[in-house]
Amino acid sequence: MGLKDRIAAVEANYGRLRALGRDPSRLEFQNVWSPTEATLEGRPMMLFGTNNYLGLTFDPNVLEAATAATRALGSGTTGSRIANGSYGGHKALEAEIARFYAKQHCIVFSTGYVANIGMITALGGKDDVLLIDADSHASIYDGCKMADAETIRFRHNSPEDLAKKLRRLEGHPGDKIIIVEGIYSMLGDTAPLAEFAAVKREAGDNVYLMVDEAHSLGVLGESGRGQCQAAHVEDDCDFIVGTFSKSVGTIGGYCVSNVEGFDWIRSFCRPYMFTASMTPGTVSTARAAFRRMAERPELRAKLWSNSAALFRGLGDLGFETGPEVSPVVAVKLPAPEVAVALWNRLIDEGVYTNIAIPPATPNALSLLRVSVSAAHSEAQIERALGVFASVGAELGIIEPGTARGER
């Protein structure tokens, strides 16, 4: 298919939905004034579609660190660490993250997407097998496509299916790398990591486990290390990958590991070697945000009470939600048109969420992805639920009369 045909196919698929209202890819916030408030179409908007789980994007300490580093060291590094060298901040950030996880090694990447493609292409050599959860993020799929290894998918969150696929590989000489996520970004469900770790242990020596904690860093676990910590399987997780673009509130990615010789990855991991390194400002932002995360555990507690309030509130109204309380609350809708209509009406009423429709969703689901921050106030959550109630009833998604205050 040529470029023109591909554009025509996309137009045919999305044009119909765009005709129903706004184009999600062309929204522009004129201003963002806090982790939860912005101006869109000249009107105030409550943000329920960010990944700003701890609300750190406006933390004064973080802003001060970012500004000071930019003033002192400039706006960018203008090259990769292999070509232009590391700044002290890159090394300090890596040492701090390794310490945070109590792991020996850490490597930082320019984004979380790059961390996944970098680690997967570095780990998945020609004779190896990558075993990935079917609901994996695009960056995991893309990494697998780029890697020399074979890729096998197993059923979402199914240790049984993983075990079956591993049994079929018995006698296979190469490494097997299992890849799962801590919290899945669309439905907000967590991986059964204790069970996955047990499957990995049973499968033998040359089997590794990599966990992407993009949505669980700062969110799960006693000290916020993620689902590996919450499930008490950190020793079984050979590679923990994450991003700075969510709870850390900036941009960048990382991998921590205890695997011996890990540092040599820097010399053959192309997505590390051939792209510019994190800017001084982003490095200092990330360092300050990790410090704030440790200093303010109450943010995690607030995030979870907000998550419970939103999850239960939407369920009580009659919306079909994801399977468990989570900072990512999926509202499942019967068709893409319904999702688009609800998304548009919510924006009309000042509530911004994320729309997710096939092919970007697992099992061709149509949903709104509603996400919570520790920075949301109870009043904001109540207001958002009120809008969901009235707009949901107006569109016939929930029973009328379930509006907040009328129950």
Q: Are 278 and 111 in contact (CB under 8 A)?
A: no
The nearer residue to ligand PMP, 24 or 112, going by C-beta atoms, is: 112
Task: CB nearer to ligand PMP: give 257 or 371.
Answer: 371
Other CB atoms within a 10 A radius of the CB of residue 378 amount to 11
Angle at 149 between CA 148 and CA 153, to 5 degrees: 135
DSSP 327-381: SEEEEEESSHHHHHHHHHHHHHTTEE-EEE-TTSSGGG-EEEEEE--TT--HHHH
Strands (E), 226-307: 239-243, 253-257
Q: Give me the least distance between CB of 266 and ligand PMP, in Å please.
A: 19
- Chain centroid to Cα 69, Å, comes to 26
d(CA 270, CA 259): 19
Min CB(242)–ligand PMP separation in Å: 8
Nearer to ligand PMP, 196 or 388 (CB): 196
The nearer residue to ligand PMP, 120 or 340, going by C-beta atoms, is: 120
Query: Residue 184 CB, nearest distance to ligand PMP (Å)?
Result: 7
Q: How far is the CB of 110 from ligand PMP (least distance, A)?
A: 9
Return the residue nearest ligand PMP (CB atom): 112
Amino acid at 19: A
Least distance (Å) from ligand PMP to the CB of residue 144?
13
Q: Which residue ranges make up the site for ligand PMP (CB under 6 A)?
A: 111-113, 116, 137, 139, 181, 185, 212, 214-215, 243, 245, 253
Count of CB atoms situated within 10 Å of the CB of 140: 25
The CB-of-71 to ligand PMP minimum distance in angstroms stands at 25
Question: Whose Cβ is closer to ligand PMP: residue 179's or residue 397's?
Answer: 179
- Cβ proximity to ligand PMP, 300 vs 369, nearer residue: 369
